[in-house]
Amino acid sequence: MAEARRQTDYAAARPVPAKMMLSVFDLDRTLTILPTYTPFLLFAIWTRAPWRFLLLPLLLPVAMLYALKLVPRRAMKQAMHRIALGRRLAERDAARLADRFARRLVARGLYTQGLALIEAERAAGRRIVIATAAPHLYTAALARRLGIADVIATASTWRDGWLTPTIGSANCYGGDKRHRVEAFLDVAGIARDRAHIRFYSDHVSDLPMLAFADEAVAVNPSAKLRQVATARGWPIVDWRR
């Protein structure tokens, strides 16, 4: 009986493991001044094959269908990729293009306040994660330049060393982004109740993830997100002013 009591006392005295502190950042218009997907594709055309600018009118039918919500965002992004990069791109060329675009973003495409915030969160011992609907291809290249190891993004499809227009998974957007973050926690061995998640986003489409986080922060918010953040008492940060 005494031995059992000693074991119980020992168990009660063991320190509770500290929570894993994560700061999760959306990318487009949160850390970046402009969206990134269209600029990436235009950058690819300009630097690789300027003649492809002549193909841009071919996107008009798909764009109209997308505006009418008759085709999903995924289909629109795949059509844009096909026009800008073709049906396949060698892995080495894709990596070089992604790194050049990432270098361009670091030079003049990111909010300096966002970079400072990342460093402050890192200095506070928080694990930095980027979670975005942008392609993993250039998001990972950007993350490497920012010293960020954890990237959750829309996957590309590679076939025999060639990049294809097909999106390799669900578009990492809205509810799918939250599911991807939950999967990341599972793979990383981080129990949700042992994690503190701070999530930064600019857009109301991220409401599933904002609701999932322990702390939601509206950054450069769209009008709808500003309304929601005000109603729910979330902090609002605007670097556009």
pLDDT 10s digits, 178-198: 999 999 999 999 999 999 999
Whether the per-residue pLDDT at 3 is higher than 90: the answer is no
Whether the per-residue pLDDT at 5 is higher than 80: the answer is no
Calculate what percentage of the chain has a pLDDT beyond 90.
86
Pairing of strands 156-159, 162-167: antiparallel
Residue 6 inside a domain? The answer is no
Max Cα distance, the chain (Å) = 84
Quick one: CA dihedral 102, 106, 109, 113, positive or negative? positive
pLDDT in the model for residue 61: 93
Average pLDDT over residues 105-115: 97
pLDDT in the model for residue 73: 85
Residue 218 inside a domain? The answer is yes
CATH of the domain at 83: 3.40.50.1000
Quote the domain boundaries for residue 37.
12-237
Number of compact structural domains in the chain? 1
Burial state string for 190-217 with b = 16 or more CB within 10 A and e = fewer than 16: beeeebebbbbbbbbbbbebbebbeebb
Residue 3 inside a domain? The answer is no
Residue 4 inside a domain? The answer is no
**222 or 170: whose pLDDT is higher?**
222
Q: How confident is the model at residue 175 (pLDDT cuts 50, 70, 90)?
A: very high
pLDDT in the model for residue 167: 84
Average pLDDT over residues 31-38: 97
pLDDT in the model for residue 15: 52
